[in-house]
Amino acid sequence: MAKGKLSVMEGSMAVAQAVRACRPAVVSAYPITPQTHIIEFLAQMVANGELEAEYIRADSEFSAISILAGASATGVRTYTASSSQGLLLMTEMIYYLAGTRLPVVLTGANRQITAPIGLQPDHQDTMSFRDAGLIELYVEDVQEAYDTHIQAFKIAEDHDILLPIMVCMDGFVLTHVYEPVKTFNQEDVDAFLPPYVPIHYMTPEKPMVFGSGTDEPNTMEFHYMGQQAALRAINKIEVVAREFEASFGHYRGGLIDTYATEDAEVILVAMGSVIGTLREAVDILRSEGTKVGLVKVRSFRPFPAEALRQAISHAGAVAVLDRALSFGFEGILATDVKSALYDAPKRPLILGMMVGFGGREVNLETIREVVQRTQRALDTGSVPNQAEFIGLKTDTLPSFRV
């Protein structure tokens, strides 16, 4: 039987409610738009006595994540959130957390990176951590953000994993929107997520070193163990999603979601809040006779290569909608999708398209153009060798030339 209480709340409040229910012992915070509401709500919960935690206001994002590294090394549950340049300021310590296997959970409230300065969401900030060794999970709506944070602590703290996890949610579109959200009783969350039981932790009586020097005799072995933990997370993410369904009555998790892909000639692949728009577009285009389907990539790291191969190999062509660019090459998600399909016995044409990059609006007409370009590639058997920028205002470009 489904559990929980349905109410309307802001996306940031839903995340704060989920984090509160997970009972972190230490929360550190430094404000940056659009994640600030999350840490403000948590600060209020601590002040009201609704959350028993040390709430530490740091002097920068680097300090905020460094505080959690120290706290996690003492064997307690920890949390923070950030966005854009703030996440980038955490870069050194996020690599450290992965290397020292400290299971910190943080929210990446997606926002474009300066310059030019802007507040709208894309995925350039969080996908810049592709190779840092942490797990990245992308959510579509506020309910999934709530559910995923609860699952994230359980995945991160599993003794077979012990890696930091970033739950990525589009800034403003999800952090500031009000939606119906089903939240769960504390007793039910406690039953699903028991207290963190660390393997290695330090105390005043038992000092330890985390991240000590190794040099070339042992460093590769450390990296290998991190890689194996990340690969084990492929199965663990699915297992925890099924445990969540058994505990709370609905399934919101796993590596990917598919929609109308069984007979699709064209499949769209994307991540984040744009999925809702794409699902609507798929329904409309199918009603007009176009066989189009959708795959949502929820786990970006570890990358669900085998699940993707099974979901899209039968299609004629695949359009990967990217909101993050590896400058000088192509969209980051498109690169990974192509790599995952390279060894498949049968693989479709794959087009990489920049859609919603820099916060550009994505609507039905945007998706029509994506599908039309993909169908042309299917008809001609020819794929552009560069990422296509959908909605690019070419008439404005001369004024930007240096």
**pLDDT for 252:** 87
Token pair of 233 as six digits: 């997370």
- Separation CA 116–CA 179 (nearest Å): 31
- Separation CA 399–CA 56 (nearest Å): 46
**pLDDT for 307:** 97
The residue whose two tokens read 């066989």 is 291
Helix (H, G, I), strand (E, B) or coil at 353: strand
Helix (H, G, I), strand (E, B) or coil at 257: strand
Helix (H, G, I), strand (E, B) or coil at 118: coil
pLDDT class of 1 with cuts at 50, 70, 90: low
pLDDT class of 401 with cuts at 50, 70, 90: low
- With beta carbons less than 8 A apart as the criterion, state whether 55 and 67 touch: no
- Separation CA 315–CA 266 (nearest Å): 6
pLDDT class of 44 with cuts at 50, 70, 90: very high
- What's the distance, CA 284 to chain centroid? 27
Note the pLDDT tens digit of each residue in 237-252: 999 999 999 999 989 8
Helix (H, G, I), strand (E, B) or coil at 88: helix
Task: For the chain, give the percent of residues with pLDDT over 70.
Answer: 99
Note the pLDDT tens digit of each residue in 10-39: 999 999 999 999 999 999 999 999 999 999
Is the Cα torsion angle 35, 39, 44, 48 positive or negative in sign?
Answer: positive
- With beta carbons less than 8 A apart as the criterion, state whether 217 and 49 touch: no
Cut 0.95: pTM above it: yes
Count of C-beta atoms within a 10 Å radius of residue 211: 14
Note the pLDDT tens digit of each residue in 313-329: 999 999 999 999 999 99
- With beta carbons less than 8 A apart as the criterion, state whether 211 and 219 touch: no
Note the pLDDT tens digit of each residue in 101-140: 999 999 999 999 999 999 999 999 999 999 999 999 999 9
Instruction: Count CA atoms closer than 13 A to 199's CA, side-chain side.
Output: 12
- With beta carbons less than 8 A apart as the criterion, state whether 104 and 69 touch: yes
